[in-house]
Amino acid sequence: MTSIPEALLWCLSAGTAAAVVLAALSIRAGKQRAGLRKRLSTAEEQSSATLHSNTELTARLRATEAEIRHLAGSRLPDLTLALAHPHVPVPGLLDARFTGSETDQALNAVLEQVSDAITKERARVDAAAQSTLRGATTTIQALLYQLQTALQEMQHRYDDPNIAQDLLNADYLNEQALRRVQATGVVCGAWPGLTREDSYLAELVVGATSRLRGYERVNISNQLRDPIAVVARAVEPIAITVTELLANALHHSHRELPVTITLQQGNRGASVIIDDYGVGMHDDEIKAAMELLSGDEDLLLTQLGDPPRSGFAAAGQLVRQYGYGVHVEPSPYGGVRAVVYIPGDPLLTILDESAQPMSVMAPLPHRAAGVPDRSASVLPTGSATPPPAAAQPAPAAQPAPSYEAPAQQAEGELPRRRRRKPLSEPDESAARTEPAPERSPEETGTRWAALQRGTESGRAAAHSEPPRSPEGNA
């Protein structure tokens, strides 16, 4: 009987132990399943994040590739075009998300490097082209000057009027070629190529007019009060500038319309005003012309158009070098008005007409009625005090009018000259009411023909003292 409870106790103990073991195993299995489910969930989340990251990376890579293709296919070509034509816009980024990023900085660095390389290479090529043209134009210009001298010598050597006319025609054609070559050389940085003496401004303008086709349409009005002259070093540059402005006026106006040149004298200098009645210029054209005429920036030959228009560019180079000014604006007559302002200090002077008479080809001063002839001037004369003029005694019955010097002299003004030959009352009234007559083209042609056919004695004198040209050159 005793063995049965023990057996039951043993069985109960064994069952309890087995239950405990089974419970422990069950709990452990549950934990393992929970951990496995957690790991699976984490793996799924990581896989999803990785997939999303890979998708974003792929999209960004594709966007970067699109930006690079946009750089190569659009931005760089437009940049090269904008360097030659500043009005052409250069596009920005294709995707605004790259703004300010490292990709944007890298692409901008590429644009800057390409721009610098193109600019330097263009400047180097243009400098080489200018050097070549400068050498060629200098040589051709020297040969044309020699041809001009030979033609002028033949004009004085032969008496036949027909030969003289043919030589004048050849000289005129040579002058046309010389003007084109000279303007091209000046644009390329060459010296104007001619040294002159102090020349009257009126003579200079007449000489500039004679260089152009259609010079017979030009009317010159001389409103200068004094015998104003341009100093030697600035004669040829100003002549080139006036020639190019006048060529523009003649070219853009009808062949039957006149072109007017007015010579005006101011307190601080003199001006050459050119008015035409042509088609005029738009605001953009005037702005571009003023940029060329200012001479503020260095120009490339590729900026002068095709075919190159070097007139305004040559004038701008000379303006920067010699210190006078050029202004272009719409004319009140419907065309274009060009003004060349020449400052009195240091580009103008006063010449003694008795010692150096003005050429017969120069226009006579035309003064308005009621305005007396004034010989006073504020322009430099080359000395502190001008030489006194020899005064002529006036008749006792009609004393000459007296002019009193001002008590105080304005700052910057030089001493004023007195009239060389005082006018009596009748003469002065006639001078006030009757303006000086203008020479007609026929009279000018007659004078020139008479000069060409001069006598043998005149030619002999010319060999000892060469005649003055329309621009006052020896």
Angle between helix 283-294 and 311-322 (nearest 10):
40
Q: Domain boundary residue among 67, 93, 128?
A: 67
In a domain, 157, yes or no: no
Q: Domain boundary residue among 48, 67, 86?
A: 67
pLDDT digits (tens, 9 = 90+) for 71-92: 999 999 999 889 888 888 999 8
In a domain, 351, yes or no: yes
Contact (Cβ atoms closer than 8 angstroms) between residue 234 and residue 324: yes
- Residue for token digits 């502190």? 384
In a domain, 207, yes or no: yes
Q: Which domain covers residue 62, as residue numbers?
A: 14-67
In a domain, 62, yes or no: yes
Distance between CA atoms of 108 and 91, rounded to whole angstroms? 12
Residue 367: the pLDDT is 56
Contacting residues for 385 by C-beta, under 8 A, at least 6 apart: 415
Q: What angle do CA 322, 324, 327 make, to 5 degrees?
A: 135
**Domain CATH number, residue 277:** 3.30.565.10
Q: Which of 92-96, 227-231, 391-395 has the lowest mean pLDDT?
A: 391-395
CA distances for 409 relative to 378, 402, 405, 413, angstroms: 10, 19, 9, 7
pLDDT digits (tens, 9 = 90+) for 411-431: 444 434 444 444 444 444 344
In a domain, 338, yes or no: yes
Task: Name the residue among 303, 153, 326 with its Cα closest to residue 238.
Answer: 326
pLDDT: which is higher, 327 or 61 = 327
63 and 204 housed in the same domain: no
In a domain, 224, yes or no: yes
Contact (Cβ atoms closer than 8 angstroms) between residue 167 and residue 155: yes
In a domain, 468, yes or no: no
pLDDT digits (tens, 9 = 90+) for 249-282: 999 999 999 999 999 999 999 999 999 999 999 9
Confidence at 9, pLDDT banded by 50, 70, 90: low
pLDDT digits (tens, 9 = 90+) for 341-388: 999 988 999 998 888 898 888 888 875 444 444 444 445 444 333 343
Residue 86: the pLDDT is 81
pLDDT digits (tens, 9 = 90+) for 24-44: 777 777 777 777 777 777 777
In a domain, 6, yes or no: no
Phi, psi of 162 (to 5 degrees): -65, -45
pLDDT digits (tens, 9 = 90+) for 281-296: 999 999 989 999 988 7
Number of domains in the chain: 2
